[in-house]
Structure 1
Amino acid sequence: MKGLHNLSSDFLLSLVTEKNMSLNTASSYKADLKIFFTFIEEQGLNFKTIKKNDLGNFFQKQKERGFSDNTVSRRLSTIKQFFKFLVHEGLIDRNPCEEIKNFKKTKKIPGFLSEKEVLSILNSASRVGKNDVEKARNKALIEILYASGMRVSELVSLRKSLFIGTPEIILIKGKGNKERMVPISKIALSAVKKYLKKLKRANLELYKNEFLFPSRSKNGFLNREKFFLIIKEIAYTAGLNAKHVSPHKIRHAFASHLLSNGADLRVIQTLLGHKNLSSTEIYTHVLDEKMIKTVQENHPFAKKDFKNLKTYN
């Protein structure tokens, strides 16, 4: 009989090949299962003997160790799907997770970068890099990110062919290999063209790579970790607190700034690639701020000293 780790590999392979799960998500599932398997082994259990109470004990320990509700909730989802896979394969009769209710997720309001802060980041991008090619690349990366709101994994793996001519929108593959259209501003497109021109002149070998942001990494394109460090350096150069700036924060800024300037929430949902509108509703905090400001600036009583107002019966 296969061991847990071999079964885990079969399970993850089925998710990627049959359900079109992205490799990044599969990697998170793999990490979740590794933690769960360690617990099983420590308790002297196996996937056939584990009970509902054992699972409850596992999730309780996760909370006691300080993991967030969202993380514990994701791990429950991972483990539920794993046992569902075992049932489907005929290795167990029933899913021990069936009676465990999903944990309530906490909706976090994302950190907010102002338009002025983002402008500062955009202006500083071309000042960061070892040479002219890297500086031009970093400028293109940031311009595309703020122009489209795409995820980091989507950004770094863009193919060069998408930018042939002067496209206003491009087709990308997001979570679960789902395709969607995202906009590309004239400024972002101009940054890409300048970058490619410099890359071709400096390194023809890398220029021939199919990816827009090529590297000699295993995947052939700039990895997410490297881009994360680039963002931090750009933020520092812009005079901002680098701890509070990340690629994801710029994605949030894209959504928040669109909303505060009147964009429809469902349009933003489509642009971000969110499956459910509830995922996009976290950005409505900018409307709350806008409503308060509108009342303060336009309500007749807000403009006066309340002590001097007459009492109305």
Structure 2
Amino acid sequence: MRNRHEEAFLEMLAAERGASPATLKAYAADLADFAAFLGKDWDATAERIGAYMADLAGRGLSARTAARRLSCLRQFHRFLVREAVSETDPTARIEAPRARRTLPRVLSEAEVSLLLQAAGPEGGPGGVLAAARQPVARAALELLYATGLRISELLSLKRAAFAGDAAVLLVRGKGGRERLVPLSEPARDAVLALLARDRAERDGRGAGPFLFPGRDRRAPLTRQGFDKILADVARCAGLDPVLLHPHMLRHSFASHMLAHGADLRSLQRLLGHADIATTQIYTHVLAERLQKLVEQHHPLAVAAVGDFASGGTVLKPGNDASIP
């Protein structure tokens, strides 16, 4: 059972930071796990928090999960200090476990093309999507790949956002932060086709506010409902649905943008990242692009890139080619 300080902390997250119900549920679970570790003696000293972190590692939790739980505790105790409930923050000197940085999995441009084709009436190598799902699937995939939206942002889009000849979308992202995202012509055409289909089939019934409604048209399509549509499109495209998830399209959008010349700051704004450090997970794409530039334009490209790739040195002191 949560105490009043925990309740006040969760209320603050919702009111001041616009935390989603899923985020609040995760924070509440993290606080409950820590409370269970402490037992009846709610004395959260630095030593006991350190012991809790060691306990998480002993339970086999990943460094990423442990770091997230420490982040929750850190925010909670800073809140207590801010509210004058506590004088010190016991998490201040606790270091978060370092998670091994993994590169995001992305689709190739050819695989994205297969998905978009499979979402259309012509289908893909694995078959044709059910006619009722085609406009929904095509509009959703075009939007995800053209804008880099999070799946939560996509499913919360309102029909009114596409009134008139909208060239940009106003998106409300994490923490209630708003951003403008350009809308590509194929994505806009796919959305207009979906809206036209809905008008033709509605026959006077209420449309509801959401672009992608669920069974109850007053509520958006659920994440689970969208996952089923995406799995069907993947099968029609000849791709493994188990390996495909909505965030891969966001990662693919970011990686392909960088590969075609976008800069990190612009990409940060498009993705809605509060910190550019989050966007920097895609810098491996920049490194690949720079290597290609050297290969294409440097007069000594073949020797330089080949030697660099093998770990050697192109110019060595004492060689005729060395620079004094």
Q: After superposition, what is the alpha-carbon deviation per residue over 1:32-59, rounded to whole angstroms, capped at 9, x for unaligned?
A: 2232233223xx432xx23222111111
Contact kept, 8 Å, 1:211 with 1:221, in 2: the verdict is: yes
Give the whole-Å Cα distance in 1 for the aligned partners of 2:31 and 2:64: 16
Q: What's the counterpart of residue 263 of structure 2?
A: 264
Give the residue type in structure 2 aligned to 1:45.
D
Aligned pairs for 1:1-313 within 5 A? 4-41=2-39, 44-46=40-42, 49-126=43-120, 127=123, 130-132=130-132, 134-203=133-202, 208-216=207-215, 220-295=219-294, 299-301=301-303, 313=320
Give the residue type in structure 2 aligned to 1:118.
V
Give the residue type in structure 2 aligned to 1:163.
F
Shift in Å at residue 15 of structure 1?
A: 1.1
Give the whole-Å Cα distance in 2 for the aligned partners of 1:90 and 1:205: 57
Give the whole-Å Cα distance in 1 for the aligned partners of 2:206 and 2:4: 40
3-state secondary structure, aligned to 2:281? helix
User: 1:281/1:207 Cα in 2 relative to 1: closer, same or farther (>3 Å)?
Assistant: farther
Give the whole-Å Cα distance in 1 for the aligned partners of 2:36 and 2:129: 42
User: 1:82/1:217 Cα in 2 relative to 1: closer, same or farther (>3 Å)?
Assistant: farther
Give the whole-Å Cα distance in 1 for the aligned partners of 2:28 and 2:217: 20
Q: Bigger CA drift: 174-183 or 201-210?
A: 201-210
Give the residue type in structure 2 aligned to 1:262.
G
**Ranges in structure 1 where 5+ consecutive residues have no aligned partner:** 305-311
Give the residue type in structure 2 aligned to 1:184.
L
Shift in Å at residue 250 of structure 1?
A: 0.5
Aligned length: 300
Give the whole-Å Cα distance in 2 for the aligned partners of 1:174 and 1:103: 28
Shift in Å at residue 106 of structure 1?
A: 4.0
Shift in Å at residue 201 of structure 1?
A: 2.1
Contact kept, 8 Å, 2:294 with 2:305, in 1: the verdict is: no
Give the whole-Å Cα distance in 2 for the aligned partners of 1:211 and 1:248: 21
Give the whole-Å Cα distance in 1 for the aligned partners of 2:256 and 2:92: 42
Shift in Å at residue 207 of structure 1?
A: 5.2
Give the residue type in structure 1 aligned to 2:16.
E
Give the whole-Å Cα distance in 1 for the aligned partners of 2:176 and 2:109: 31
User: 1:228/1:131 Cα in 2 relative to 1: closer, same or farther (>3 Å)?
Assistant: same
Q: What's the counterpart of residue 313 of structure 2?
A: none
Shift in Å at residue 90 of structure 1?
A: 4.7
3-state secondary structure, aligned to 2:239? coil
3-state secondary structure, aligned to 1:66? coil
TM-score by length of structure 1 reads: 0.85
Q: Please identify runs of 4+ aligned residues in structure 1 that moved more than 6 A.
A: none
User: 1:303/1:109 Cα in 2 relative to 1: closer, same or farther (>3 Å)?
Assistant: closer
Give the whole-Å Cα distance in 2 for the aligned partners of 1:243 and 1:292: 33
User: 1:303/1:39 Cα in 2 relative to 1: closer, same or farther (>3 Å)?
Assistant: closer
Contact kept, 8 Å, 1:196 with 1:207, in 2: the verdict is: no
Shift in Å at residue 219 of structure 1?
A: 7.3
Q: What's the counterpart of residue 314 of structure 2?
A: none
RMSD of aligned alpha carbons = 2.7
Shift in Å at residue 293 of structure 1?
A: 4.1
Q: After superposition, what is the alpha-carbon deviation per residue over 1:262-285, rounded to whole angstroms, capped at 9, x for unaligned?
A: 112111110000111111111121
Contact kept, 8 Å, 2:212 with 2:220, in 1: the verdict is: yes
Give the whole-Å Cα distance in 2 for the aligned partners of 1:89 and 1:265: 37
Q: Bigger CA drift: 134-143 or 281-290?
A: 281-290
Contact kept, 8 Å, 2:255 with 2:285, in 1: the verdict is: yes
Shift in Å at residue 290 of structure 1?
A: 3.0
Give the whole-Å Cα distance in 1 for the aligned partners of 2:145 and 2:117: 12
Give the residue type in structure 1 aligned to 2:139.
A
Shift in Å at residue 296 of structure 1?
A: 5.0
User: 1:120/1:173 Cα in 2 relative to 1: closer, same or farther (>3 Å)?
Assistant: same
TM-score by length of structure 2 reads: 0.83
